[in-house]
Amino acid sequence: MLVRAELRKLLPYRTVWIVLVLFAGLLAFFVSVGGNVTINGQTVGNSLYAFPGLWTKLTYVASYFHLLLGILLIILITDEFQFRTFRQQLIDGLSPAGLIQGKLIVSGLLTLFGMLVLLLVGLYFGLTHTTDSSTSATEGLFDALLRYGVQALGYLSLAALFGFLIRKSGPAILLFLLYSWVIEPLLRLPIADHIDRYFPTKVFSSLTPNPTQAILETMTGPTSALSATQAVPLTLAYAALFWLLSYLLLRHRDL
Amino acid sequence: MAILEIENLSKNYGSTQALKGLSLTVEAGSVYGLLGPNGSGKTTTLGIALGVLQPSGGTARWFGGQISSASKRRVGALLETPNFFPYLSARQNLQIAADVKGADPVTITEALEITGLAARQHDAFRGYSLGMKQRLALASTLLGRPEVLVLDEPTNGLDPQGIAEVRSLVLRLAAEGKTIILASHLLDEIEKVCTHVAVLQRGELRAAGPVSDILAVADRIVLRLAPNAAPAALLEALGGFSWVTDVRPEPAGGVSAVLGPGRQPAELNQALFLQGLVLNSLEVRHRSLETQFLELTK
């Protein structure tokens, strides 16, 4: 019932489709121009799209696009404050937990959409550019998709928290972006590496490490970031915490 | 059976006390009016009762129990403003509301027809006039045919014809046995449709009970003696009648009073004449509902 009600709100909403098309289009565009980049007089070309390395590179690039899905989720949440439809649904029979579950379902749907786009973009560019048929297209795929999906859930839970906390789309989006790009990196600056790797967006980004990390490490020394395996349970724990905080906000405030 | 019991409810917004220990009970089958000027606490009371505002103190109980999803589904409510998704049509909005309420989808068409929106049901809510938005909010309260309706200023934004239609709809639903709680600052509206009324003023209950008791219109009789008679004699005589109350001096030597139930001005005239007091004039001054209301909320 909740899923159906959420779909009834999402499917006819033009903003949703614009952001989703933008998400898929921008990701495909970035991946397609990646092959034309010239390094030391040579185009990167087909080596970029070779399986199984493609999945690691792709999830790293795609991780930057979570912000777009986060912005969409903030719009969908703050809309309901602005239209006072959260209030009406509470009057009509939902509990605060029900309202939260509805948006949790939306975050799940957005995550599935992100994973689907990642899969299609990866398969399309991988299969159309591959010259080497010895490696399977699915090698490393499930691991990459899973890490990407968990990461999306993490970012979306943070976006939802800003939405429920601030209730107005403009300021909530601004704070979400500022937090991810400026505030948390600043907070991490004075803190020792072995502690700062547990900060939320740092944990989230550990799920899709920079594919050139190995080369970087030869110059800067080993990174202290968490491994992807360690980051999965931590990200899920953060997501649960952020949704719980959103619930408490909704529960104890007037609507 | 009590449908809604509000006990000692209070609500503070910062340092402002919007409700001060309000208690009232709505019985099944009544059309209960919450009457009060703007800012008297009507919407706050209903907001707490409907579970969207947190009370600072006190309780609201529905059907003898705590507010719950099950209790909410027995109540159709319109609070303050029509709350819908602007980019969805009327029908799409009602479908969402019906999903949330667990209401039979058949009642969507029914509600659209009752409120006269069937012809415009596929238009986006954002293009609706204020009156149509209000009608859609009313339609939403009817989904699932609830046994109780809570209507906060339901005629807001409607034209005179719309107002008349809403009133006849309320009366019709009441005749079907539904309990209706209606908040309004319009005395006329409460008087025309309600069986019971609670008068609120600055967050406090001023009076509550059947409309016929609370908003009873008692006429005043204004009396004047012949110019040569002593005015004190009239005051003294009126004080002697047990069925004459609220004796007050009026300008230019007159005196006004209220007669007990069933007493006629002619009886007063005769009683005074028997005491040797001859009136120069006797005037029945009709007291308006507005005067009554203003007196209650003084």
C-alpha B213/C-alpha A19 separation (Å) is 61
Which range, of A35-49, A151-165, B251-265, averages the lowest pLDDT? A35-49
Ranges of each domain in chain B: 2-214, 220-296
pLDDT at B71 > cutoff 90: yes
Pick from A150, A112, A145: nearest CA to A237: A150
Amino acid identity, position A1: M
Is B94:B156 a contact under the CB 8 Å cutoff?
Answer: no
Out of 3.30.70.100, 3.20.20.70, 3.30.470.20, 3.10.20.90, select the CATH number for domain B220-296. Answer: 3.30.70.100
Residues of B in contact with A6 (CB under 8 A): none
- Taking an 8 Å cut-off on Cβ atoms, the answer to whether A5 and B96 are in contact is yes
pLDDT: is A135 or B77 the higher one?
B77
- Cis check for the bond before A52: say yes or no (omega within 30 of 0): yes
In three-state secondary structure terms, A130 is coil
- What is the maximum alpha-carbon separation in chain A? 65
C-alpha A76/C-alpha A69 separation (Å) is 11
Strand order in the sheet with B57-62: B16-27, B2-13, B57-62
For chains A and B, what is the number of CB pairs under 8 angstroms? 74
pLDDT at B116 > cutoff 80: yes
Which range, of B50-59, B74-83, B107-116, B210-219, averages the lowest pLDDT? B210-219
Task: Find tokens 């979570």 and name the residue.
Answer: A66
pLDDT at B118 > cutoff 80: yes
Highest mean pLDDT among A162-176, B159-173, B244-258: A162-176
pLDDT at B66 > cutoff 90: yes
Gap from B173 CA to chain A (nearest CA, Å):
19
Bridge partners of residue B182, in order along the sequence: B33, B151
* Antiparallel, parallel or unpaired: β B196-201 and B204-210: antiparallel
C-alpha A25/C-alpha A11 separation (Å) is 19
Per the structure block, which two tokens stand in for B225?
Answer: 């003696």
Is B23:B8 a contact under the CB 8 Å cutoff?
Answer: yes
Please, which pLDDT band fits residue A218 given cuts at 50, 70 and 90?
low
C-alpha A218/C-alpha A201 separation (Å) is 25
Which range, of A34-38, B146-150, B261-265, B282-286, averages the lowest pLDDT? A34-38
Which range, of A232-236, A251-255, B47-51, B110-114, averages the lowest pLDDT? A251-255
pLDDT at B16 > cutoff 70: yes
pLDDT at position A161: 98
pLDDT at B106 > cutoff 70: yes
Is B72:B61 a contact under the CB 8 Å cutoff?
Answer: no
> Alpha-carbon Rg of chain A, whole angstroms?
20
Pick from B246, B274, B276: nearest CA to B260: B246
Chain B residues with CB under 8 Å of a chain A CB are: 47, 50-54, 69, 72-73, 77, 79, 81, 83-88, 92, 95-97, 99-102, 140
Mean pLDDT over A153-173 rounds to 97
Mutate to test the interface with A, among B96, B104, B122, B149 (most CBs of A within 10 A): B96
Which range, of A11-25, A210-224, B55-69, averages the lowest pLDDT? A210-224
Q: What percent of chain A has pLDDT over 90?
A: 61
Backbone angles phi, psi at B18, to 5 degrees: -80, -30
pLDDT at position A49: 78
C-alpha A75/C-alpha A85 separation (Å) is 14
pLDDT at position B219: 76
Q: What share of chain B is helix, strand, coil (3-state, %, to 5)?
A: 35, 30, 35
Q: CATH classification of B2-214 is 2.60.40.1840, yes or no? A: no
Which tens digits make up the pLDDT trace of A52-88? 778 888 899 899 999 999 999 999 999 999 999 999 9
Residue B12: closest CA among chain A residues belongs to which residue? A254
C-alpha B210/C-alpha B190 separation (Å) is 11
Q: Which residues contact B241 (CB under 8 A, 6 or more apart)?
A: B268, B271
Pick from B3, B2, B6: nearest CA to B204: B6
pLDDT at B295 > cutoff 80: no
Centroid of chain to Cα A16: 16
- Taking an 8 Å cut-off on Cβ atoms, the answer to whether B86 and A83 are in contact is yes
pLDDT: is A248 or B14 the higher one?
A248
Gap from A6 CA to chain B (nearest CA, Å):
8
Gap from B174 CA to chain A (nearest CA, Å):
21
* Antiparallel, parallel or unpaired: β B148-152 and B75-78: parallel
Q: What share of chain A is helix, strand, coil (3-state, %, to 5)?
A: 75, 0, 20
Looking at every residue in chain B, the average pLDDT score rounds to 90
pLDDT at position B102: 92
Gap from A96 CA to chain B (nearest CA, Å):
10
Bridge partners of residue B4, in order along the sequence: B26, B62
